[in-house]
Amino acid sequence: HEPLFAAYSSGDIQKVKAVLADPKRFKVVQCAPAIRVSLAEEFGLPFGTLTPGKMAAALRRLKFDRIYDTNFAADVTIMEEGSELIGRVMSGERLPMFTSCCPAWVKHAETAAPELLNHLSSCKSPMQMGGALFKTYGAELDGIAPADIFSVAVMPCTCKKFECSREEMNVEGCREVDLVITTRELASLIKDQGIDFIHLPEEPFDSPLGKYSGAGSIFGVTGGVMEAAIRTGYELITHEQIPNLQLDFVRGEEGIRTAEVQIGDLELKVAVVAGLKYVDAVLAKVGEGTCPYHFIEVMACPEGCVSGGGQPKLLLETQRKCAYQARKSAVYRHDSHQKVRKSHENPDIIKLYKDFLGEPLGDTSHHLLHTKFVDRSVKEEMS
């Protein structure tokens, strides 16, 4: 997927350094779920070493004012996307619903199947939802004007740089996310500043926009968004506890994984598409009206974000396999160690809706957290 976007830029490291040195800017940062299972590899630690606390400590040493987290925003995504899915299943409209958190997949849909864009969830990605909340809810909590906040996101791929520059990703007259850097660029920055990453203590993220559930952390692997959505959807629909939190049927290796999940009276048909090469056949069936699924997760990278193009580079195929496997295991281990493993039970998510958003799909959510997609087929044909 990486060649789709020619946005890899060492100049972005210089931009972050300049902003970090500017005392007039209030600097906030978020890291995608997949960064904390790969960053340590850049410092010689084994594949899949899990270092959320050291990552938070390093970001604090870099002088970010707030260490927030994309995982928190992933929990928000589940609240919004889960509610949207329930609504569509009940009404039978615009099914199947596709996830919309991978910008490479969204751009592919905009280019290859613009007539089906109303099947995508209207949710922004967790990165953009986080960006919008940091400059509104976060700005209010800190008493800072949105225009004085500079928002950096550390992401596993360069297409997130493209996503943050999309015209519609604006809040309060500002960019939601001002700059995206990759895992490799963050590692360069930490080394450049002489921070001894390996010996850093484990430090927490800032609250309330940095506390996450296990469900938020599994967005880093393919099938993770689906698993997180089912954990919450099951309980919102049935008002009963889901019998098993580990949903093995979405955790496989195949390019397309399908399942039927019994949720009360509803037999929810789901599919996970891991890799863009599998998606056109699915889109064709949706176009023909013969696609049997209610909900489809699509990630452009075959292993999900743990294998994104901005992650530590590995030249040998055998190394890549080991690294992806270790990073995936670390993501699931991180989830299993969390006290709260469902997005709707994250206390800071409950507080966010009570104090600021109101309810999922409410007016404030629509304004801040949902978006529209663009038909790029004509533009692509002409270029």
Active site positions, annotated = 81, 84, 101, 121, 160, 163, 168, 305
Verify binding: residue 131, ligand SF4, rule CB under 6 A. no
User: What is the nearest approach in angstroms of ligand SF4 to the Cβ of residue 249?
Assistant: 20
As a dihedral over the C-alpha atoms of residue 22, residue 25, residue 26, residue 28, rounded to 10 degrees, the angle is -80
Interacting stretch for ligand SF4, rule CB under 6 A, among 36-44, 154-162, 232-240, 338-346? 154-162
- For ligand SF4, what does the binding mask look like between residues 158 and 187, x meaning CB under 6 A? -x----------------------------
List beta partners, residue 67.
29
Rounded Cα gap, residues 219 and 71, in angstroms: 8
Sheet with 295-299, edge to edge strand ranges: 97-98, 295-299, 266-274, 256-263
Tell me whether residue 136 or residue 307 sits nearer to ligand SF4 (CB atom): 307
Verify binding: residue 107, ligand SF4, rule CB under 6 A. no
Q: Kindly give the residue spans of alpha helices, DSSP state H, lying in the chain.
A: 11-20, 52-61, 70-91, 103-112, 126-133, 139-142, 159-164, 183-192, 214-217, 224-238, 279-288, 317-337, 347-352, 363-369, 377-382
Verify binding: residue 300, ligand SF4, rule CB under 6 A. yes
User: What is the nearest approach in angstroms of ligand SF4 to the Cβ of residue 25?
Assistant: 27
Residue choice 86, 89, 104, 225 for contact with ligand SF4 (CB under 6 A):
104
Tell me whether residue 149 or residue 270 sits nearer to ligand SF4 (CB atom): 270
User: What is the nearest approach in angstroms of ligand SF4 to the Cβ of residue 84?
Assistant: 20
CA distances from 374 to 107, 116, 221 (A): 9, 11, 26
Verify binding: residue 301, ligand SF4, rule CB under 6 A. yes
Verify binding: residue 157, ligand SF4, rule CB under 6 A. yes
Strand-strand pairing, 66-67 and 170-171: unpaired
Residue choice 82, 138, 156, 275 for contact with ligand SF4 (CB under 6 A):
156
Return the residue nearest ligand SF4 (CB atom). Answer: 308
Asked if residue 145 lies in contact with residue 109, where contact means CB atoms within 8 angstroms, the answer is no
Rounded Cα gap, residues 342 and 215, in angstroms: 5
Verify binding: residue 304, ligand SF4, rule CB under 6 A. yes
Chain residues that interact with ligand SF4, rule: CB under 6 A: 1, 102, 104, 156-157, 159, 299-301, 304-305, 308
